[in-house]
Amino acid sequence: MESNLSKHNLHAEPRLPLDPGSEGGDQTTPSQSRGTTTIPAYPGDAPEEKEQLDTKYEAKKPLSDYRKAALPIERPQKPKVKARYEEYSPRGDDLERRRMGDPRKQLFSVDEPEAREDSEADYRLPVGYTFIARPWALGSVEAHPETNSVIELVLRRVLTHIALITPLIVQLIMTSKTMNFYACGLQKDTAVMLVFEPPKTDKLFRDQFPVVWKVITFRAKGNAKAMVKYVNRLAFGYAQIDQDNLVDAAAWVEVKSGDICRITGGPGQKRFGEVTRGNNTRLLVCKNSTDNRVSLSVGFISGDGPNQRYEPTLVWTGVGSKSNVSAQFTPTVTAYVTRDYKSSEMLRGEVETSAIWTCNINEIDDVTGWNFIEDDANGGFSIEPASRV
């Protein structure tokens, strides 16, 4: 029995191995087989146990205690987003948006799932996709030459549309004054003449004459309305005056503040040359470069091309050869109640009646309303701002 206990005594001190070359030395190590059972002398000596313990130890080990000699941890790199695309759905408001990390793989998975996997493939936008340029991302977009051609095409179309609509925008901005005149219950038909105030000069009514701009008529009884549109596009014209003092223009040229134009040609061949810019001046200048006296006018134009029309507001008569006229126009309009004048008629002298209304068009809103009122007591007229346009 004692021998059996000694045989299975697990608490006995293990015998250290002797030198293999020594006599009578035991060649058995503590972890070697004793009989038919393999008993490790130290915990974790078994290969499978050692692997589990090492894994457990490494899992609990803080990152700061990691082996200093180990290589740095390489984290997977996310693919950079080169551009943003949007898929257009023909259902109107249904616009499906998707941000794509790899433009090639995502774009060509629709029609060509495997045709363009190589890195040298051309980048083409399939049908149904639209390239969206984000201003804040333009610096980071690395586009293929084919994509550059798409962007160039888009930019060309945008610039073309801008070039086409710019004259319309300019015209809308300049045609920004509309005056609506209302009347109600007038005793008889009444005509109102609108004239722009001429500059104060000693040549007024000698060789410089104002021209009637508009004549509007309000019908008696009931309600009446007249609309007057002001177009701030100035022009010089080659004036022709008939026996009724009506002013027309055989030719005209558009000018802006500080421009200088010239009229040239012989009898029956008058025309305006190229417009140039003056130096440090805001005056409108027109030079008579012909060999004869001519009549010149300044006024407004509306429309473009064959539909352009010219309305004179001031005329100079007998401008000498090699002389010039200049004007600094202020759109101050004056209203008179009179039946004696027509539109585009030159005023040879002061208007016989007193003005009932004066307004600087630059100081009013784009669209305004005005009431034309008749005083039943004394029969006088006045123009006052309307509460509604």
**Would you say residue 290 has pLDDT above 70?**
yes
In a domain, 334, yes or no: yes
Q: How large a percentage of the chain has pLDDT more than 90?
A: 45
Inside any domain, residue 321: yes
Instruction: Identify the weakest region by mean pLDDT among 60-64, 162-166, 374-378.
Output: 60-64
Per-residue pLDDT of 36-45, as tens digits, reads 445 554 454 5
User: What residues are paired with 241 via a beta bridge?
Assistant: 247
Q: Look at residue 40 and tell me if it is in a domain.
A: no
For the residues 93-101, what does the mean pLDDT come to?
43
Handedness of CA 106, 110, 113, 119 (dihedral sign): negative
Residues 283 and 234 in one domain: yes
Residue 249 forms beta bridges with which residues? 239
d(CA 376, CA 365): 30
**Confidence band of 16 (pLDDT split at 50, 70, 90):** very low
CB 185, CB 376: distance < 8 Å = no
Same-domain status, 202 and 133: no
- One domain for residues 299 and 222: yes
Tell me if 263 is assigned to some domain: yes
pLDDT band with cut points at 50, 70 and 90 for residue 306: very high
**Average per-residue pLDDT for the chain:** 73
Residues 216-222: what's their mean pLDDT?
93
What gap in Å lies between CA 247 and CA 342, rounded to an integer?
11
Domain housing 109: 85-172
> For position 181, what pLDDT does the model report?
97
Across the range 170-194, mean pLDDT stands at 83
Across 43-57, 108-122, 197-211, 347-361, least confident range: 108-122
Residue, of 62 and 345, whose pLDDT is higher:
345
Residues 221, 363 within the same domain:
yes
Q: Which residue has the higher pLDDT, 217 or 1?
A: 217
Q: What share of the chain in percent tops pLDDT 70?
A: 58
Please check whether residues 188 and 308 belong to one and the same domain: yes
DSSP H/E element including 386: none
Q: What confidence score (pLDDT) does residue 212 get?
A: 97
Residue 49: its pLDDT value, please? Answer: 53
pLDDT digits (tens, 9 = 90+) for 22-75: 444 444 444 444 444 455 544 545 555 555 555 554 555 555 555 544 555 555
Residues with Cβ < 8 Å from 369, sequence gap 6 or more?
A: 179, 180, 182, 385, 386, 387, 388, 389
Are 379 and 321 contained in the same domain?
yes
* 27 found inside a domain: no
What pLDDT was estimated at residue 230? Answer: 93
- Per-residue pLDDT tens for 107-124? 333 333 344 444 333 444
Please identify which residue in the block is written with the tokens 């299975």. 8
Q: Would 29 be classed as within a structural domain?
A: no
Structure-token match 């596009």, residue found: 233
How many structural domains is the chain composed of?
2
Do 165 and 228 fall into the same domain? no
pLDDT score of 55:
52
Indicate whether 280 pLDDT > 80: no
pLDDT tens per residue across span 328-338: 888 999 999 99
Q: What is the pLDDT of residue 175?
A: 56
**β-strand partners of 288:** 263
Domain end residue (candidates: 172, 206, 221): 172
The answer on 224 and 98 residing in a single domain is no
